[in-house]
Amino acid sequence: MQSEIYRARVNALTVITSAAFFGANLFIGLSIGGYWLNLPPGDFVAQFFTQFSNFLYTIMPLFLLMPVGLILSARLDRDNAPARRNWGIALWLYLAVSLITIFFHMPLNVRLAAVIGSPLGDVLDFYKAIALVGPVTEENAATIRGLWLLGHIPRVLITLAIPIYALRAMAAHEQAQR
């Protein structure tokens, strides 16, 4: 049996990274998104990739550490059906937010990167191929901004649910210990 100290550390990693990831997504959606909506579409396009790159350095470590915590925590409770169910839901939610990122936001990000001449816009042809939109232009910049922000709403809601299900799993473990 794993020590309770190990369990506490793994669960803390899970809750901290998932709650911080939610907070970062909420900040992006509300604060940065509100800022972007107040910009003329051309200014949004010009500023997006630089701003995206800045918050990526904060959010990416959380995104990569979260599944480590989720998987390790789920393994600890593999013999506890109620806890295992909640960890499973949290893992499926992580998968859902990953798919939204890969198939919705990344293609838009690459299209926006290409506008400012970032080499990222040239090397990620896969994302250009699956993008819902063609190249970003002055005429469609406002639509791209709206799509990006609307697509961010499910990310915020899903990332809110991940720490909730993690906490539910932890409560189910505690309940089983009584």
Please answer whether residues 84 and 77 qualify as being in contact, where contact means their C-beta atoms are separated by less than 8 angstroms.
yes
Alpha-carbon dihedral sign for residues 38, 33, 114, 103 = negative
Q: Where in the chain are the domains?
A: 4-177
CA-to-CA distance for 77 and 66, rounded, in angstroms? 17
Amino acid 149: pLDDT:
95
Q: Tell me what pLDDT residue 154 has.
A: 97
DSSP 8-state secondary structure symbol assigned to residue 138? T
Query: Over its length of 178 residues, how does the chain's per-residue pLDDT go in tens digits?
Result: 558 899 999 999 999 999 999 999 999 999 999 999 999 999 999 999 889 888 888 899 999 999 999 999 999 999 999 999 999 999 999 999 999 999 999 888 888 888 877 676 666 777 777 787 888 888 999 999 999 999 999 999 999 999 999 999 999 999 988 8
pLDDT of residue 73: 97
b/e burial code for range 7-26 (CB count within 10 A of at least 16 → b): beebbebbbebbbbbbbbbb
pLDDT at 122: 63
| pLDDT value for 120 | 65
Q: Which residue has the tokens 């791209």?
A: 144
